Amino acid sequence: MQYWAGTAAIGIPPAPSVVTLGNFDGVHRGHQAVLKVVVDTAKQHDLKSVAVTFDPHPRLVHLPEEPLVPIVSLPQKIRLLETCELDATLVIHYTLKFAAQTAEEFVKNILVDALNARMVVVGADTRFGAGNSGDINTLRKLGKVYDFMVVEVDDIGETERWSSTWVRETLTKGRVAEASRILGRYHSVEGEIVHGHARGRELGYPTANFANDSQGMIPADGVYAGWFTNGSGQRLPAAISVGSNPTFNDVVRTVEAHIFDRPEHEELQDFNLYGQHCTVEFVARLRGMLAFEGIEALIDQMEADVCKSRAILSGNAPEIDAPEPRSAR
């Protein structure tokens, strides 16, 4: 897949194309369905399939006072779009100046001049141009002027429309199993492994600690069953802790993974992950974050977490998110 960071990177306008546009935050199953229409339509008509997306998220530019945590980072989004078999992705740096373009200016500058669009695939709720003044009817009118067709894609979902907002809500509540059904894959966080307090190692449950600048939206505090992939591509079962560790009165929120059932040749002292770029995938939430009165109670709970994680990841227990407990014990 070609990747263009801005229209200047395109150079000579590409071959005639089928284009879609959107934030594609999370690249969930709804996005995937739209992108499949783009790819299939492009193949059918011997055109190039292109997605247009924006960075940063427009809401962060228009409403900076209202925090919004992207589900995926830009590099993660690009990799996910590539799995959809697109020919190219154009990432536009989103600014207030860019947003001030009229609907027609956006269509002419981006879809027509830069991408040579012959077909544009969008949902019924698409909006573009200054003040979101352009909609699908605007697009159809401009298509007649600039010689491209508009293909409308219906809302896609099972019980309700799949959306990035829905994914974000589930992750905020720790419902990662539900999020995976919307995303069509397990939600992941990736980053460099750094040194922590080494408490887990002292307790017999060493953890890989992710740097604070890790990529991907971090779900609610709690303990999760999931998969850990190291820098060499080994995918191993893990119990993942998210939070500030109230038992030790920590205040910094961290993501750390205890990797269990390692291959026999991986001795504990030789399993050095520091400095590696690693990934955790969240499969199911086991429990909320609790403060324990003593070390023994904490160790007992960690063993129970590992046992439950092993059962879930081996397919011997359902992937169901545990609700937040009413009170810490």
Domain of 141: which CATH number? 3.40.50.620
319 has pLDDT over 80: yes
pLDDT for residue 143 is more than 60: yes
Q: Does residue 166 form part of some domain?
A: no
- Predicted confidence at residue 325, as pLDDT, reads 59
Considering only CA atoms, which of 179, 244, 160 is closest in space to residue 217? 179
Half-sphere CA count of 74, side-chain side, radius 13 A: 15
Query: How many folded domains does the chain comprise?
Result: 2
Q: Considering the domain boundaries, does residue 168 fall inside one? A: no
Give the model confidence (pLDDT) of 32-78 as tens digits: 999 999 999 999 999 999 999 999 999 999 999 988 999 999 999 99
Is 173 inside a domain boundary? no
Whether the CB-CB separation of 50 and 115 falls below 8 Å is answered with yes
- Dihedral pair phi/psi, residue 144, rounded to 5°: -70, -30
Among 106, 129, 153, residue at a domain's last position: 153
DSSP state, residue 12: S
Cα first-last separation, the chain: 51
Q: Is the pLDDT of residue 244 over 80?
A: no
Q: In sequence order, which residues have a C-beta less than 8 Å from that of residue 262 and are 6 or more positions away? A: 236, 268, 271
Prediction pTM value: 0.91
For residue 176, being part of any structural domain is answered with: no
Q: Is the domain of 101 the same as that of 230?
A: no
Mean pLDDT score, 276-293: 91
Residues 217 and 291 in one domain: yes
Structural domain contains residue 327: no
> String of b and e for 248-276 (b: at least 16 CB within 10 Å)?
eeeeeebbbbbbbeeeeeeeeeeeebeee
Q: Are 236 and 121 part of one and the same domain?
A: no
pLDDT at 327: 40
- For residues 217 and 173, the answer to whether their CB atoms sit within 8 Å is no
Same domain, 194 and 101: no
What pLDDT score does 268 carry?
44
Q: Would you state the pLDDT for residue 67?
A: 82
256 in active site? yes
CATH number at 211 reads 2.40.30.30
84 shares a domain with 221: no
Q: Are 163 and 183 in contact (CB under 8 A)?
A: no
For the stretch 88-140, pLDDT in tens is 999 999 999 999 999 999 999 999 999 999 999 999 889 999 999 999 999 99
CA distance 194 to 212: 9
Average pLDDT over every residue of 182-209: 85
Eight-class DSSP state of 174: T
Query: What is the per-residue pLDDT across 163-190, written as a single tens digit (0 to 9) for each?
Result: 999 999 999 999 999 999 999 999 999 9
Structural domain boundaries enclosing 26 = 2-153
Asked if residue 169 is part of any domain, the answer here is: no
Average pLDDT value over all residues in the chain = 90
User: Does the residue 134 lie in any domain?
Assistant: yes
pLDDT over threshold 90, residue 197: no
Lowest-confidence region among 13-17, 197-201, 246-250: 246-250
Phi, psi of 7 (to 5 degrees): -65, -25
Check pLDDT > 70 for residue 277: yes
Average pLDDT of span 254-270: 72
DSSP string, 205-247: ---EEEPTT-BS----SEEEEEEEE-TT--EEEEEEEEE--GG
In the predicted structure, residue 269 carries a pLDDT above the cut 70 = no
Six-digit token string for 52: 């247009």
Residue of 178, 190, 256, 281 marked active site: 256
